[in-house]
A = this chain, B = another copy of it.
Amino acid sequence: MVIVQKYGGTSVGDIEKVKSVAKRIVRTKRKKNQVVVVVSAPAGKTDELNSLAHQVAKIPNQREMDMLLTTGEQMSVALLAMAIHELGEDAVSMTGLQIGITTNEKHGQAKIVDINTDRIRRELRKGKIVIVAGFQGSTSKNEITTLGRGGSDLTAVALAHVLKASLCEIYTDVDGVYTSDPRIVKDARKLDMISYEEMLEMASLGAKVMQSRSVEVGKKYNVPIMVRSSMNNNPGTLITKENKKMEQVLVSGVTITENEVKITLLKVPDTPGIAAKVFEKLAKSDVNVDMIIQNKSTTNFTDISFTVFKSELKRTLPVIHQAAKIVKASGVEVDKNIAKVSLVGVGMKSHSGVAAKMFSTLAKKKINIEMISTSEIKISCVVDGKKGKAAVRAIHSAFGLSRRKTVI
């Protein structure tokens, strides 16, 4: 049975941790598994290298950046392989190039185009544990590339797919995926299982467990992914395809994101095509708009509101003011103090009344809803930033998420 394990930077952040990870890997191997391990750079290493690069060049060349950054994972895999040898098992470390992860030529955020598993399979057959440098690959011309943010997760899930692994374990510093952020909701419960779709909504909504891209690949190829902690032996959360058992569970979690701002174009003359003009302008300038709301009033004017990421506000404000001019808005209002609270669950598909219950829960707490957006398995509400956490707690409690199952 092939098992792929991925260890993040904090899991190999110092020598003692490397040794402890080695022990876990050896245990897995000795349970008669073939083990492939994907490792990130030691915590802090990538930042350190990044800082060196920026001391040398204002905008470091991206190809050279890949050359530099990939040394971090190469360090990790070599040290981990040594630590495994020390425990009496055979291990062999490999760079992305050696493993045969071929990518396109987009340095810094390359896409995997092919994985040749010959070498891995050969080493596994010899009884070796294969230690793979995450986050990296190489082009067909032997140029070293990196896969962008969350790249090591992607390496792990992709390898689990091509090796037909029975499980892809993502080791991190949390026990798994929770019904909500335990720092906000005290009785948040760890989920035993969650669907890819729900996980995608959770990931993009602020549960920082796994990058969306890796979950998407897992979904596409139906790779069972277990998110668990490298600090203990608790069972984690299994990310898998939707099943009957999940549908009985109405909602899986409540998330909050506080990294968006709400922008309103005020008193826009209400003529057809007005929204199109605004958002075409924004799209052309690469502004990522998340939620959009347009409320026709009884007059001939309308307000158009939308949210963008705080980090992009400075860059996008001039574009927004231009757009406001084009559609003859009377002004632009920016509200930085908002929170987006979202309820996620595949059970919503087959149960009605979820939205109503969410809205009434907020109403009872006197929390005003400023914007709403929904998908098949998600409802998001923008509320006053100061009331975001209270909203999360109220919804978590109303849907009984701290108990095992929640059906209306």
Please list the residues of chain A having a beta carbon within 8 angstroms of any beta carbon in chain B.
15, 18-19, 49, 52-53, 55-58, 60-61, 63-65, 67-68, 70-71, 74-75, 77-79, 81-83, 85-86, 92-93, 95, 97-98, 142-144
A123 to B82, CA, bound (A): 36
**Which residues on the B side are within 8 Å of A97 (C-beta)?**
97, 142
* Contact assessment for A61 and B74 in the assembled complex, using a CB-CB cutoff below 8 Å: no
The 6 lowest CB-CB distance pairs between A and B, nearest first, are A68-B78, A71-B71, A67-B78, A57-B82, A57-B86, A64-B78
A151 to B312, CA, bound (A): 48
* Contact assessment for B86 and A52 in the assembled complex, using a CB-CB cutoff below 8 Å: no
A387 to B338, CA, bound (A): 82
Q: A61-B81, A61-B82, A81-B67 are in contact. Are A56 and B93 (CB under 8 A)?
A: no
* Contact assessment for B15 and A56 in the assembled complex, using a CB-CB cutoff below 8 Å: yes
Residue with the highest number of chain B CB atoms closer than 10 Å, among A56, A70, A95, A142: A56
Number of copies: 2
* Contact assessment for B98 and A82 in the assembled complex, using a CB-CB cutoff below 8 Å: no
When C-beta atoms are compared, the residue in chain B nearest to A100 turns out to be B142
Q: A74-B67, A97-B142, A142-B97 are in contact. Are A79 and B58 (CB under 8 A)?
A: no
* Contact assessment for A15 and B52 in the assembled complex, using a CB-CB cutoff below 8 Å: yes
When C-beta atoms are compared, the residue in chain B nearest to A18 turns out to be B56
* Contact assessment for B98 and A83 in the assembled complex, using a CB-CB cutoff below 8 Å: no
When C-beta atoms are compared, the residue in chain B nearest to A52 turns out to be B79
**Which residues on the B side are within 8 Å of A58 (C-beta)?**
86
**Which residues on the B side are within 8 Å of A65 (C-beta)?**
78, 82
* Contact assessment for B49 and A67 in the assembled complex, using a CB-CB cutoff below 8 Å: no
* Contact assessment for A57 and B78 in the assembled complex, using a CB-CB cutoff below 8 Å: no
* Contacts A57-B82, A71-B75 supplied; 4 other A-B pairs, CB < 8 Å: A49-B75, A64-B79, A64-B81, A98-B142
When C-beta atoms are compared, the residue in chain B nearest to A83 turns out to be B56
Q: A85-B57, A86-B57 are in contact. Are A75 and B68 (CB under 8 A)?
A: yes
**Which residues on the B side are within 8 Å of A61 (C-beta)?**
81-82, 85
**Which residues on the B side are within 8 Å of A143 (C-beta)?**
98
Q: Show 27 A/B contacts (Cβ-Cβ < 8 Å), sorted by A.
A: A15-B55, A19-B56, A53-B82, A56-B83, A56-B86, A57-B83, A57-B85, A58-B86, A60-B82, A61-B81, A64-B81, A64-B82, A65-B78, A67-B78, A67-B81, A67-B93, A67-B95, A68-B78, A68-B82, A70-B74, A71-B71, A71-B74, A71-B75, A71-B78, A97-B97, A97-B142, A98-B144
A86 to B57, CA, bound (A): 6
A81 to B63, CA, bound (A): 10
A71 to B68, CA, bound (A): 9
